Structure 1
Amino acid sequence: MKGSVILMNAYFAGRELIDEEIPTLPDEHIATRPAIHMDNGQPRCRRCNNTTNFSSHHCARCSQLCLYCRHCIQMGKISSCTILYRWIGPPPKHPENAGTMHWTGTLSDGQRIASSNVERAIVHLNEHLVWAVAGAGKTEVLFHGISSALAAGKRVCIAAPRADVVRELAPRLAGVFPDTPPAALYGGSPNLHTYSPLVITTTHQLYRFYHAFNVMIVDEVDAFPYTFNSSLQFAVQKARKPDSALIYLTATPNTDWQAEVKSGKREATIIPARYHRHPLPMPKTKWCGNWKKSLLPSAVHSWVKTKLDAGSRLLLFYPHIDTMEKALPLFKEIDPRIESVHAADPLRKEKVEAMRRREIPALLSTTILERGVTFPGIDVAVIGAEDAVFTESALVQIAGRAGRSAGWPTGDIVFFHYGKTNAMMKAIRQIKEMNRLGIERGLIDG
């Protein structure tokens, strides 16, 4: 039985699962509760907190007409007769030397302040926001706080909205904490059932956890779908322990959070400058006429050709897939190597890697590449910048693709539009304000 307990706690610890997800249900150390319960006469899913999106079917399990949750069905069906199981036995032991850092990098002045504040928030189980401009190096800001938490026997989770970010972060953290290899969790992940004191996961996978983490770090807290999905926000709260630290990371907090930071109502550290001490490149606005009709307006055509002739590489954003795909043949007349990419593109990863290898001179993209990617030495354009999909947050993130590396700290950014919007102007003002703060705090040279 002892060996069985050790095996089950390594698999099960911190998780709350349905029986289909448990290979063998142990005889002890298990707590249960109904997956759907009635709350003031309304059904509520305890896994995702859904109260409105239900349907019913004749259930093979209970041979009755059974209610089921449609909202989180991609994680496995939750019905009225489903039971949630969680492990309440002894937790797994941490590896020896857990939290020992193998990192020889140095922090900038802005990063050092944020790192200290994050570590303090983790020790005192507080909530803290790190508002760091794109390219400031926010991941490195976490290292010391994670190290102290793991060394103290705490369990740490870094949650991000997209699987791409998880796949990028996991090897970086594995290199920094080789004695505590992180479990990387996302749909199709090979180690979905691996235990580690350090977990890097999509926010969707948090549906399967219950009071598991002493430290919850939410990366890109402003990004879709997390920011628009209250059930994912519920999942974050359910997955953390009642007494735990909560760290938020973003380059673009929403308007309410910005106001709370400025008024002192929200504890935050602002990193207004990149580690290489150069200012953020400022976007320009340029009228291009009705781009929906022409697809590749003359102003855009001229800018692209001039840039490519000068040897520049370009990242070009369109608001919608259909318009972008119709425009692609026109771009290929300028250079046949130009490609496009979007979320459903089966060759998305290959094209992004080809862009990194400098095999593609210009890449057209939807907002899927607005964050989480770095291509050194690129110029950036938005075609149709007035479209509603280009929010202030999206435009700040897109502008943040340029000038990220010390070798190429500058870059052109153009918002091509058919009429200026408040989002465009607010994005430009936010970037300008960060540069002002960076200079004021001595974090930008010159």
Structure 2
Amino acid sequence: MIIKHLAAEIYKPQGVDPDKYICHRCSNKTKRYFYKYYSEIHGEYIVYCLKCVNIGRSDSVTPLRVINTTPESEPCDYSLGFELSPAQKSASDRIVEALDSKQNLLLYAVTGAGKTEITFEAISLARQRGLNVAFVSPRIDVVKEVYLRLSGAFKNAGIDLLYSGVKIESGHRFTVCTVHQLYNYIDHFDLVIVDETDAFPLPADDQLMDAITRAASKHSTIVLMTATPNRKMIDFVGRENVVSLTRRYHGHDLAIPKVVWQSVSKDISRKRLPGKLEMLIRNITDGNRRVLVFLPEISLMNRLYPLIKEKFPDSDSVYSGDPERYVKVDRMRNGKTKALLTTTILERGVTFSGLDVIVVNAEMFSADSLVQICGRVGRKTDDPTGNIWFIAGHNTGHIRQTVKIIKSFNAGKTTI
């Protein structure tokens, strides 16, 4: 079923139970995520859910309406543009086996391993069999990138794209969307692929994982994909259903970060660009490469950016609430921006060629974030290597763990 505002069939007479404080669309039961007000028009109090309001309001006076779709197969041919490596082919076969046996699977793959392309064969087979497919992620940036890659590969397939403010609908049989959009689906998808399963807010919100399992059909296959799995993910699929991919598709090692010991706070507070940071950016841009400069806080980025802009005119900054966020990312991708300051919003879901990375105040980042940030470098076949620098005031377990994880991948081992 698909929840649709103007559909004929009523699924629930109310979207929200005002007495028990339950949202029938997203299953929210936490009272602080509901808002109650008196409506002069209805002559009664109305309760609506704040948890899923970004995809449309679910309230106590409006019924939830649904449509039911019928299975429909399509040839769903795809063009890959390259041949899968033996390791990629093995992982692809395991996903197909999981689809055939209706089991869940965890693809534990190094960043840049070609996870998206590894799923193509299973997607194609699922659609040929009339099974509904969803490719989802917690991050809009990832969803947009995946949609472009899938549209380019499955040229004759009708693919939905759904995220906040965007709806491209084509039958709801092959859907690319953010996890939040799954609140509108019940027992619908037979193959659900969750990319960047470790990305915020999915690991911290059990309700989102519930949305994934509720949107999946009773005999579905759910494939979780991540470079940094946690115990909950492993328990969800079972350790025997974990597939590891320790090499990137081009076969080159991951870049190992170099640590520069410097506290930058004093220089920035004096409105002075830290010397070591300036030298690194200068060396990168003089070498005709680009650089992402990651910072742990927006406030620090806002204080540092004018100092960098003065020395490097082709620089910019971006954060999650930036209204020009996607325009700025495109400028970086097109080579118009040479140095881009960013928060963790660009730690995943983006690929730039000729890229190096600097992490300022690296001691303030988690190991999972640092691993993802390091994964931005060396993703292209024509640029398989690069440099990563951690600027840190002191050493931390997260910095040491990041180096250990990357070295383990390069040695063909995993850390689970």
TM-score, with length taken from structure 2: 0.91
Counterpart position of 1:55: 35
Quick one: distance in 1 between partners of 2:12 and 2:27? 17
SS of 1:323 mapped into structure 2:
helix
Alpha-carbon distance, 1:85 to partner: 2.1
- Between the aligned partners of 2:347 and 2:186, the Cα distance in structure 1 is 32
Q: Is the 8 A contact 1:123 1:149 kept in 2?
A: no
Partner of residue 133 from structure 1, selected from 80, 87, 110: 110
Write the distance in 1 (CA, Å) between the matches of 2:173 and 2:79.
17
**Equivalent residue for 2:196?**
220
Query: Following superposition, which runs of at least 4 residues in structure 1 exceed 4 angstroms of deviation?
Result: 255-258
Q: How does 1:29-40 map to 2 (within 5 A)?
A: 31-32=11-12, 34-37=14-17
Instruction: Give the distance between the partners of 1:378 and 1:216, measured in 2 at CA.
Output: 32
- Structure-to-structure mapping, 1:345-360, within 5 angstroms: 345-360=322-337
Tell me: CA distance 1:168–1:48, structure 2 relative to 1, closer, same or farther (3 Å).
same
Determine the C-alpha separation between the residues in 2 that align with 1:61 and 1:114: 57
| Among 149, 152, 166, the residue aligned to 1:172 | 149
| 1:410-421 superposed matches below 5 A | 410-421=385-396
Shift of 1:158: 0.6
* 1:163 aligned to which of 140, 147, 156: 140
Equivalence map 1:279-294=2 (5 Å)? 279-289=253-263, 291-294=264-267
Cα distance in structure 1, aligned partners of 2:275 and 2:128:
59
CA shift for structure 1 position 106: 0.9
1:357–1:104 Cα change, 3 Å:
closer
Q: Deviations over 1:163-220 (max 9, x none)?
A: 22222222321232233221111122242x5414210011111111111111111111
The code of the aligned residue for 2:2 comes to: R
Tell me how far 1:425 sits from its aligned partner: 1.4
Which whole-Å deviations, capped at 9, do the CAs of 1:50-87 have from their partners, x for residues lacking one? 11222322246753223322222222332233322223
The DSSP-based 3-state class of the residue aligned with 1:437 is: coil
Q: How does 1:232-311 map to 2 (within 5 A)?
A: 232-254=208-230, 257=233, 265=239, 267-289=241-263, 291-295=264-268, 296-311=273-288
Q: For 1:114, what is the secondary structure of its paired residue?
A: helix
CA contact under 8 A between 1:15 and 1:210: conserved in structure 2?
Answer: yes
Pairs within 5 Å for 1:74-93:
74-88=54-68, 91=70, 93=72
- Residue aligning to 2:2: 15
In 2: Cα distance, 1:231 partner to 1:406 partner: 38
- What's the counterpart of residue 46 of structure 1? 24
Q: Secondary structure at the match of 1:57?
A: strand
1:92 Cα shift? 5.8
**Structure 1 alignment gaps of length 5 or more:** 1-13, 440-446
1:334-413 alignment, distance < 5 Å: 334-387=311-364, 390-413=365-388
Secondary structure in structure 1 of the residue aligned to 2:214: helix
2:58 maps to a residue whose letter is: I
- Residue 53 of structure 2 is aligned to residue 73 of structure 1: yes
Structure 2 residue matching 1:172: 3-state secondary structure: helix
State, as a whole percentage, how many aligned pairs show the same letter. 35
Change (3 A) 1:85 1:190: closer
CA contact (8 A) 2:71 2:130 kept: no
Q: How many aligned positions are there?
A: 408
Q: Is the 8 A contact 1:305 1:334 kept in 2?
A: no
Question: Do residues 142 (structure 1) and 116 (structure 2) align?
Answer: no
Deviation, 1:246, is 0.4
**2:164 matches 1:187:** yes
RMSD: 2.3
Shift of 1:143: 0.4
Q: How does 1:75-114 map to 2 (within 5 A)?
A: 75-88=55-68, 91=70, 93-95=72-74, 97=75, 99-114=76-91
Residue 255 of structure 1 and its aligned partner are, at CA, apart by 5.4
Q: 1:202 to 1:364 in 2, by over 3 A?
A: same
Amino acid of the structure 1 residue aligned with 2:175 = V
How has the CA–CA distance of structure 1 residues 102 and 257 changed in structure 2, closer, same or farther, with 3 Å as cutoff? closer
Q: Could you say which residue in structure 2 is the equivalent of 1:443?
A: none
Residue 386 of structure 1 aligns to a residue in which SS?
Answer: helix
TM-score (norm 1): 0.85
Q: CA deviation at 1:357?
A: 2.3
Mapped partners of 2:171, 2:139: distance in 1: 21
Q: Is the Cα–Cα contact under 8 Å of residues 66 and 79 in structure 1 kept in the other structure?
A: yes
Q: Which runs of 5+ in 2 are unaligned?
A: none
Measure how far apart 1:350 and its partner are. Answer: 2.4
The one-letter amino acid paired with 2:367 is E
Deviation at 1:31, TM superposition (A): 4.2
Q: For 1:101 and 1:303, how far apart are their aligned partners in 2?
A: 42
